[in-house]
Amino acid sequence: MSGTKSGAAPAEALRQLLELSKKLGETSDLASVLGAVINALRDLLQADRATVFTFDSRSEELVIHVAHGVGEGGAEVRVPASAGIAGACATSKRIINIPDAYADPRFNRDVDRRTGYVTKSILAVPLLDDEGDLVGVAQVLNARSGAFDDGDSVLAQGIASQAAIALRRAQLIADNIDRARLLKEMAVAKEIQEGAFPKGIPDHPAFDVAARSTPAEDCGGDSFDVFGTREGTLCSRDEAADQLVLFLADATGHGVGPAISSMQARGMMRMGIRLGRSIEQIAHEMNVQLSEDLPPGRFITAFIAALDLITWQIKVFSAGQGPIYIYRFASDTFEEIESDTPPFGIIIPGFGGGPCRTFELGVGDILLLITDGYYEAQSPDHKCWGESAVCRVIRGLRDAPCESICDALDRGALEFARAAHTDDDRTAIILRRRF
């Protein structure tokens, strides 16, 4: 350091290096670390300005968060990790010392033109962690003596080694904080979604019903509902219902976004029932609204059914949801309920047409409403579990409680996939007429 013509005196340089070490050890805040580093580079090297670029390995970009000459509160600046002097330093992982910036073809003059600043000399230093991986690039501009010398390079390298460790630590802590915040937000979203699902299934001596939803991620793109109505509107579980409403929806994708969409569909369906609308009217209005709300390429398949608990007739409407089956106990056969329309959110202004189709459930018959997370469960060799496997489960457990059928469907899909979860959300509503 004694040969440094532009830097600080050896005693002062040592004092400032120790002070920098102290600052970097006291904080893990990224902005504070960057501020301490650029100030140390500028002051120790007797330069005009300094900048630290962090390296974003996911996007292969160098990122400026804070720099001398940049206004407070400015947005981060991103440049390709191979661009300019900083990019050359990042790519080579070597110090680059340029006494005349305008004589170097790698120098980008556009920044000077925009700001009016004149860059003369540049010292670029790679920031490498203890494994030699790139953390960022430090760039110091305009040595007050005219150019940076070898002593400056040595001093800058010493600063860079401390800065790289501090930056890596700050980035890891920031990533952990972001991850913890995301996990907390996802947990809240999951709690809200699960809280919106029915707390219990209405009891009735003549039917058995089980329902569940298992998301592929924390939140699922599926939603479901099962509730009783009396005289055309919702009733409490303590009241005797004259009709049972079943709802199943599957939004494209899975995660928070699709969860919001499918829960929106469920909310609209419930509101329609509360207002005394027919299934046909509810389906029409849901499609119009979802066509306006969903982004291009997004849609929701759905199935709405109203089971009359006196006549055992069931009115159904299917918007692209399938396959949906009724297992006929007496004949040991499966009757498919085909879709009435495409999924919600595709056709505008909506659906026209006649009344819902009506089916009758006989004694022992099973209504099978499940999403494609079951049918499309994939084995390690990318084969699907398929409809035939689902039908075998139903046929084999046709006398078992519906809860046992749901358990068997989950177990079968996971065993076939040889995994702890399937790639898509699994939602099932199984209903059987007892007598």
Domain ranges of the chain: 10-178, 197-433
For residue 72, is pLDDT > 50?
no
Which residue did the predictor score with more confidence, 32 or 382?
382
State whether the Cα torsion 328-333-334-335 is positive or negative: negative
* Mean pLDDT, the chain, integer: 84
Q: Mind listing the pLDDT tens digit for each residue in 249-277? A: 999 876 777 888 888 999 999 999 999 89
Which residue did the predictor score with more confidence, 119 or 164?
119
pLDDT at 37: 77
The model's confidence at residue 352, banded by pLDDT at 50, 70 and 90, is low
Of 89, 98, 145, 94, whose CA–CA distance to 122 is shortest? 98
**In which element (H, E) is residue 300 found?**
strand 300-308
33-50 burial, b for 16+ CB within 10 Å, e for fewer? bbbbbbebbbbbbbbbbb
For residue 71, is pLDDT > 60?
no
- Range scoring the smallest mean pLDDT among 5-14, 147-156, 159-168, 407-416: 5-14
How many whole angstroms separate alpha carbon 418 and alpha carbon 123? 56
pLDDT at 18: 57
Angle separating helix axes 279-293 and 256-274, nearest 10 degrees: 150
pLDDT at 312: 92
pLDDT at 255: 73
For residue 373, is pLDDT > 90?
yes
Q: Mind listing the pLDDT tens digit for each residue in 281-319? A: 999 999 989 988 888 888 999 999 999 999 999 999 999
For residue 182, is pLDDT > 60?
yes
pLDDT at 73: 47
The HSE-up count of residue 294 (CA atoms within 13 Å, CB side) is 29
Tokens at residue 345, please?
Answer: 């959110």
User: Look-up: residue for tokens 């999924």?
Assistant: 343
CATH superfamily membership of 10-178: GAF domain (3.30.450.40)
For residue 387, is pLDDT > 90?
yes
pLDDT at 406: 97
Q: Mind listing the pLDDT tens digit for each residue in 2-52? A: 444 445 555 555 556 556 666 555 555 667 777 777 788 888 888 888 888
CATH superfamily membership of 197-433: PPM-type phosphatase domain (3.60.40.10)
What percent of the chain stands above pLDDT 90?
41
Of 67, 86, 87, 63, whose CA–CA distance to 76 is shortest? 63
Q: Mind listing the pLDDT tens digit for each residue in 393-404? A: 999 999 999 999
pLDDT at 19: 62
The HSE-up count of residue 85 (CA atoms within 13 Å, CB side) is 28
The model's confidence at residue 370, banded by pLDDT at 50, 70 and 90, is very high
Asked if domains 10-178 and 197-433 share a fold, the reply is: no
How many whole angstroms separate alpha carbon 266 and alpha carbon 430? 18
pLDDT at 1: 41
Beta bridge partners of 242: none
What percent of the chain stands above pLDDT 70?
87
Q: Mind listing the pLDDT tens digit for each residue in 196-219? A: 788 888 888 999 999 999 988 777
Q: Residue 103, class by beta-carbon neighbours within 10 Å (0-12 exposed, 13-18 middle, 19+ buried)?
A: exposed
